[in-house]
Structure 1
């Protein structure tokens, strides 16, 4: 639905074109995406099941892990099915309302995951720097208040984005060179992108960059406390409790900044590289997070093994 430079329009639909320049590889890319999505669904669902059904895991650390798993499920499920529809069936058309809905949940998941990682950093800080008051500081009421603060911040950030997108006027095209709807990708199609782009940058600074800075401060304090411990074994044990969280932080923030800032350099980076980079943060963290926590956390790994043992026993009895 293109228009000339003198015609303004509000598109009723958008066309998701997939990853530009990779049409010949769409089948292989879609198979890889599908496998990653299946792993993310299975891993996060299993993690949620184990934490929610095992009362011994109803502690702040594992509650935060379960929140992370739920957000990962929401993030991947919001984006990946439409990606596969684009690659497999060429079903790139998406209504304006559906596009806004997808964009809303993707950004909600993104900001929520960043906030949960910050809460987990605070959890590790209290556990290592003030262990005797851990249960007092991170009580159920405090966790509920943290959750309420996260939800409030999310809606304060996201609703202006929806309003800005609905006010955009388009004079170019409604074709999105992406596999899902994303704020800056839509904004770049508009005639006047100044407000949306600047709001996207401010959002990145206030929401994501601020969380990253606070996480770095938390780990600075944690490292200072760890290196003051008297024995090497105590230091290694304290660092081991943070290893899984540090891995998840790196997996989330490294690709997460690409879709925010690469739009500013779209004229430099080839289109297919830009689209590949923006797909990373809806697939890689949801797939790898449950694997990291399942492998590095003894309590979770033990219960995962028990679940598989029970399933194997039931299968052998039924056969």
Structure 2
């Protein structure tokens, strides 16, 4: 490890070195087999669960509605996120591959953040969908037309690709004053950017990207739920309030699962809270790997239409016989 650290340590101010050093999970470097199977299991179960959601929504015409279309996009982002993270995770677990080429690191960083921002954007779109369905039920179909949904999809794609496409090029051109040693088992933009020399000219754009997505989206989502809560308070029937609230349970659970670890990580970084590197790394794993694993279960259990159609597709067809 010390040899690798020396190789990746630049001088006082240099361009990006050809490789980065991944530290991985503290305490597990000597026993890679311990965490290989859980990683493989998480990836396979995430791919299976989200693949099932994609399959059932694509095949069932009754599910070709706005909420299910956004759920389709959410599953795409979940599969993309866990697939982008897996190569370096398994490389460390199976082969102890601590070094990663700078080009591969920047590419992984790009896709991790693209799919992470896509997930955040889709969760925001789903919260708007729920707010319109509950606050404006009579105008819901007129407001969320196919044309509007297409525009939302284009906006999500532009937001993901347009905002993050410059970042790898900015990082590649920055001067670096610190050893290119990352604190995780994968490449993240804040982790790479902190290695640059103080006052690097790409920092302002990076801050704009972070605030325009991860700062704005949670505020708008919880504002949408504030509107939903206000409308539900005015509903006299307890049963109607319960039914309307139940349509939001899966989405609200997905929101909390995605944002709570992210907010905790941001607080830890900015407030410099005294926690171990092991805890910080584990929380990062929870933020990126748990939503793709749990979201398909949440939506399959909480959304009756999804659950029933999956069960119908999996049940063997009854074959009639004629004599």
TM-score, with normalisation over the residues of structure 2? 0.89
3-state secondary structure, aligned to 2:20? strand
Which deviates the most, 143-152 or 28-37? 28-37
3-state secondary structure, aligned to 1:21? coil
**Cα offset, 1:195, TM superposition:** 5.0
From 184, 192, 214, the counterpart of 1:178: 184
Taking the aligned partners of 2:99 and 2:306, their CA distance within structure 1 comes to 42
**Cα offset, 1:156, TM superposition:** 3.6
CA distance 1:257–1:164, shift in 2 (3 Å): farther
> CA deviation digits over 1:247-284, x for unaligned, max 9?
00000111223454544456843222222222222210
CA distance 1:50–1:148, shift in 2 (3 Å): same
CA contact (8 A) 2:12 2:177 kept: yes
Taking the aligned partners of 1:58 and 1:85, their CA distance within structure 2 comes to 39
CA contact (8 A) 2:12 2:178 kept: no
**Cα offset, 1:162, TM superposition:** 2.0
Partner of 1:23: 29
Partner of 1:59: 65
Partner of 2:263: 257
> CA deviation digits over 1:167-188, x for unaligned, max 9?
2222332332311110111122
Partner of 2:3: none
From 34, 38, 43, the counterpart of 1:37: 43
> 1:272 aligned to 2:268?
no
Taking the aligned partners of 2:178 and 2:273, their CA distance within structure 1 comes to 17
Taking the aligned partners of 2:10 and 2:159, their CA distance within structure 1 comes to 39
Which deviates the most, 91-100 or 36-45? 91-100
Taking the aligned partners of 1:152 and 1:256, their CA distance within structure 2 comes to 23
From 220, 228, 238, the counterpart of 1:232: 238
Which segments of 5 or more consecutive residues in structure 1 lack a partner in the other structure?
315-319
Taking the aligned partners of 2:201 and 2:31, their CA distance within structure 1 comes to 36
Which deviates the most, 279-288 or 290-299? 279-288
CA contact (8 A) 1:118 1:211 kept: yes
Partner of 2:164: 158
**Cα offset, 1:14, TM superposition:** 1.6
CA distance 1:282–1:257, shift in 2 (3 Å): same
Which deviates the most, 1-10 or 233-242? 1-10
Taking the aligned partners of 2:279 and 2:32, their CA distance within structure 1 comes to 14
CA contact (8 A) 2:127 2:225 kept: yes
From 81, 85, 97, the counterpart of 2:87: 81
> CA deviation digits over 1:224-257, x for unaligned, max 9?
1112112110000000011111100000111223
Which deviates the most, 164-173 or 191-200? 191-200
**Cα offset, 1:192, TM superposition:** 2.8
> CA deviation digits over 1:127-174, x for unaligned, max 9?
111111111111110001011112222234213422321122223323
> CA deviation digits over 1:194-223, x for unaligned, max 9?
655554444332211211111111111111
CA contact (8 A) 1:184 1:196 kept: no
TM-score, with normalisation over the residues of structure 1? 0.90
Partner of 1:248: 254
Partner of 1:96: 102
3-state secondary structure, aligned to 2:316? helix
CA distance 1:140–1:167, shift in 2 (3 Å): same
CA distance 1:223–1:265, shift in 2 (3 Å): closer
Give the number of aligned pairs. 313
